[in-house]
Amino acid sequence: MRITLLLLLSLFTFGTCTQNPLFLNETYTTGFVNIQKSSDIFYWHFESRSNPATDPIVFWLSGGPGCSSELALFLENGPFIVNDNQTLSSNPYSWNEKANVVFVDQPVGTGFSKASTEELSTNEDQVAQNFYNFLLGFLNQNQQYIGRPLFITGESYAGHFIPAIGYELIKKNNPHINLQGLAIGNGLVNPKVQYPAYGQYAYENKLISSLEYYAFIKPVLKTCSYLIGRNASLTKISNTCNLAYQTIVGFGEVPKFNVYDIRKKCEGSLCYNMTNLDNFLARDDVKSILGVSGRTWQECSNEVHKALSRDYFVSYADKVADILENGIKVLVYSGDQDFICNYLGGLEWVNEMEWTKQEEFKNAKFEEYIINGKSAGQIKSAGILQFFRVYQAGHQVPMDQPEVALEMINKFISN
């Protein structure tokens, strides 16, 4: 599609980078891209702290589905940390150290984005098409990035989003979109393979007893995996899989442990106290500066989540394989203290993925990943695929091991 036609997909003028003392004089742009009649996608773009005119562009997608990327922006790999007094501190390990980074509230209806009920995405084909249209609109508003090396990154349920979007971008083959790589952090990619790892991980980390594992949880998860593979009804799959899952984490409203970091207690709706961020993004002055006055930010949207309920147990490993076969490199990284998308399941779905170098990857040996003279994890690779187990990190690797995460992404985007 010619870049001049991008105007049809956006009603907004070119983004103009700005600075503001409230945001510690980082150079940024915010904006919306219209997707359908009643839906749009909000983004917050930060220029690289190094060489914005030449550094690559990295898009970040949070999971959920329906969780805002501002969660990552302020708690993980963005330029800011919210203090108790509602001021901001600078994050020295922000991913815009050597990249232009865009935090995207997608699918439509997530975070500051909006969507009518009938325009919510119900499958990954819609998610991918909407993101492609978003990308066209973003490039129309920020034309300096046309043809720039581009990477799609994210975590958790973005293990569904990223393969679908990457595959869509390859199909579209737009010369203005220079896709170079995908990075999936603690992602849900292949539930059929990953669900049985709940039992194994819980047993190995002493979250359950030997009797619980062998007598009940392991066989139930085997049935869960079988039902997913047979494409059984959503109700049947959910009831079976959730029975084993809840036996591990507990049947109460609050899990017995933080499912995103087994070293911690679960506190708050997402097992973390996000009061500072909630209050900050509810401020009228903040919303005015961001251009989102009149909108209400939420951590995660139940409506977006429910609309994608039939997508949950679908595997997107085949899409990752297709992406690799098309020469686009993939990094899969996983914090080893995470239960919800644990590294055992992550490694297993990568091992099971059928592609040209499957056997080479399965037989590859792990090597220690050394930073400042210390081992930060283990990594193995075959061709353009890497799997990185990050030591002492939970679901949000950039939050728990920020220095490691920054070096990891900088190496990945710089070849």
Q: What is the pLDDT of residue 16?
A: 67
Q: What is the pLDDT of residue 25?
A: 86
Given 55, 261, 311, 338, which residue is catalytic? 338
Q: Are residues 326 and 234 in the same domain?
A: no
Whether residue 174 is contained in a domain is answered as yes
Given 156, 225, 301, 315, which residue is catalytic? 156
- Total count of domains within the chain: 2
Cα separation, 314 vs 92, in Å, equals 37
**Amino acid identity, residue 251?**
F
> Which domain range does residue 67 map to?
28-190+269-413
CATH number of the domain enclosing 348:
3.40.50.1820
Q: Are residues 237 and 278 in the same domain?
A: no
Whether residue 254 is contained in a domain is answered as no
Q: What is the pLDDT of residue 14?
A: 42
Q: Is 39 a catalytic residue?
A: no
**C-alpha 289, offset from chain centre:** 26
Cα separation, 278 vs 258, in Å, equals 20
pLDDT digit of tens for each residue in the chain (415 aa)? Answer: 333 333 333 334 345 678 888 899 899 999 999 999 999 999 999 999 999 999 999 999 999 999 999 999 999 999 999 999 999 999 999 999 999 999 999 999 999 999 999 999 999 999 999 999 999 999 999 999 999 999 999 999 999 999 999 999 999 999 999 999 999 999 999 999 999 999 999 999 999 999 999 999 999 999 999 999 999 999 999 999 999 999 999 988 889 999 999 999 998 778 899 999 999 999 999 999 999 999 999 999 999 999 999 999 999 999 999 999 999 999 999 999 999 999 999 999 999 999 999 999 999 999 999 998 999 999 999 999 999 999 999 999 999 999 999 999 999 999 7
Whether residue 392 is contained in a domain is answered as yes
Q: Can you read off the two tokens belonging to residue 323?
A: 């992406």
Which residues are CB-neighbours of 89 under 8 A, at least 6 positions away?
80, 81, 83
Given 45, 176, 305, 395, which residue is catalytic? 395
Residue 331 and residue 388 in contact, taking contact as beta carbons nearer than 8 Å: yes
Q: Are residues 183 and 211 in the same domain?
A: no
Q: What is the pLDDT of residue 60?
A: 98
Q: Are residues 175 and 211 in the same domain?
A: no
Q: Are residues 279 and 390 in the same domain?
A: yes
Whether residue 17 is contained in a domain is answered as no
Whether residue 20 is contained in a domain is answered as no
Whether residue 126 is contained in a domain is answered as yes
Whether residue 258 is contained in a domain is answered as no
Nearest to 393 by CA among 408, 383, 373, 382: 408
Residue 308 and residue 123 in contact, taking contact as beta carbons nearer than 8 Å: yes
Q: Are residues 183 and 126 in the same domain?
A: yes
Q: Is 176 a catalytic residue?
A: no
Nearest to 342 by CA among 134, 236, 191: 191
DSSP 47: -
Cα separation, 23 vs 154, in Å, equals 23
Q: Can you read off the two tokens belonging to residue 254?
A: 């609050």
**Amino acid identity, residue 26?**
E
Cα separation, 346 vs 333, in Å, equals 8
Q: Are residues 224 and 145 in the same domain?
A: no
Q: What is the pLDDT of residue 254?
A: 86
Q: Are residues 101 and 128 in the same domain?
A: yes
Quick one: which H or E segment has residue 156?
none
Q: Is 395 a catalytic residue?
A: yes
Q: Are residues 293 and 168 in the same domain?
A: yes
Whether residue 21 is contained in a domain is answered as no
Q: Are residues 184 and 199 in the same domain?
A: no
Q: What is the pLDDT of residue 248?
A: 96
Q: What is the pLDDT of residue 371?
A: 92
User: Cα dist. 375→18, 72, 316 in Å?
Assistant: 39, 25, 31
Cβ density class 142-170: b for 16+ within 10 Å, e for less: beebeebbbbbbbbbbbbbbbbbbbbbbb
Q: Are residues 229 and 295 in the same domain?
A: no
- DSSP for 306-358 reads HHTGGGTT---HHHHHHHHHTT-EEEEEEETT-STT-HHHHHHHHHH--STTH
- Max Cα-Cα span within the chain: 64
Q: Are residues 334 and 231 in the same domain?
A: no
